[in-house]
Amino acid sequence: MRLPRLYPAPFVLAIGLAGLVVPAVASAQPLDLSKGGPVTITSRDGIDWQQAEKVVIARGDARAVRDNVTVTADRLIAHYRPKAAQPGAPPPPAAKPGDASSPIGADSGGNEIYRLEADGNVRIFTPTDVAVGDHATYDMDQAVMLLTGRNLKLTRPSEVITARDTMEYWSQLHRAVARGNAVVVTSDARRLAGDTLVVYTTAPASETQPGQAPPKPESVGKDSGAKDKAPEDPLGTAGKVDKVEGFGNVSVRTQTDTVTGDRAVYIPETGIARLGGNVRITRGQNQLSGTEAEVDMKTGLARLTSGSNAQVRGLIMPNDASMQDGIGKKPTPATNPGKDAKP
């Protein structure tokens, strides 16, 4: 039986598409490990190479890097396979017996990682985006990351998402799915919560559409004559929140009201959140309930809508101080002008 090869620490292992080098893009990119150059793996306590299983295990301050995406954890497990032949390319030369010149075994044609697992103190990050959890699995073929464990959190320039059970991040689809006490707080302090939240974002500026020219640099000073590029907007380069869908025990909070329902859709461009199914608007001790509601997250106005024929019920406490403006009326601005200013 052939024993696994254990490399002494520290050791660097590069696995990827031989000869493919992709320079890092200046603007922000999503947490996408599915494309780019080779994956470089380093560790403190050594790397265990299991040739029969086609697995590489790195232990102790393990780190995997592909372009500008970095994964750190107590342990990394990389599953690899021979890379697919490119159309029209000649077949790779046959490996010689005992040839171990390849960084990951006697495969002169090269290899590629198709799944990466991380255990313990997991952190996946780019210059702008950070995901943390206890365990992570990244499927290179589908470009999807699955986070599990405690204190799951995904931080991007446009939003912060937390969850209790699982968090999926589909980098090429620009979508995040958080399950279990899920909460999303946008960069303009809009908060939504629910059993499950699906956050859709726009494509980052680094992803140019086919046939679309890259943005032209803007002049910094009219009199200077310079055509330097304007400072990057992290929200624009990383992609903004386009839509948020919530399912199960959804809640939306404004300065005065808490609105709950079975489901919700929030569109940041309009600032409107629409809730449906067992809707309740609560302000202090006062409550209104129905089947549909609309919340203007910019003004804080929450109201029941006439989308159905269901009866509207309410409990109004006239002496409640919170009713001085009344549910459904625009709240009086607070003494701090910056707190209630429109974005």
For the chain, the domains span 1-89+102-150, 152-205+236-334
Query: Are 292 and 283 in contact, with CB atoms under 8 Å apart?
Result: no
| Interatomic CA distance for residues 172 and 138, integer angstroms | 13
Give the CATH number of domain 152-205+236-334: 2.60.450.10
Copy the structure tokens of residue 144.
């999807």
Alpha helices, DSSP H only, in the chain?
Answer: 234-238
Query: Are 122 and 148 in contact, with CB atoms under 8 Å apart?
Result: no
State how beta strands 191-201 and 144-148 pair.
Answer: unpaired
| Interatomic CA distance for residues 194 and 197, integer angstroms | 6
Query: One digit per residue, pLDDT tens: the chain, 343 residues?
Result: 444 444 444 444 554 432 223 333 335 568 999 988 889 999 999 999 998 999 999 999 999 999 999 999 999 999 999 887 666 656 555 444 433 333 443 233 488 899 999 999 999 999 999 999 999 999 999 999 999 999 999 999 989 999 999 999 999 999 999 999 999 999 888 999 999 999 999 887 665 454 444 444 333 333 434 344 444 444 445 578 999 999 999 999 988 889 999 999 999 999 999 999 999 999 888 889 999 999 999 888 898 986 555 555 554 445 544 444 544 444 444 444 344 434 3
| Interatomic CA distance for residues 245 and 188, integer angstroms | 18
Whole-prediction pTM value?
0.72
Please tell me the predicted confidence (pLDDT) of residue 36: 84
| Interatomic CA distance for residues 2 and 50, integer angstroms | 9
Nearest Cα to Cα of residue 30 among 156, 123, 163:
156
Residue written as tokens 């697919």? 84
Rg (CA), the chain: 26
Burial class (CB in 10 A: 0-12, 13-18, 19+), 270: exposed
Phi, psi angle pair for 140, to nearest 5°: -65, -35
DSSP per residue over 193-216, as a string? EEEEEEEEEPPPTTSPPTTPPPPP
Nearest Cα to Cα of residue 35 among 21, 46, 48, 49:
21
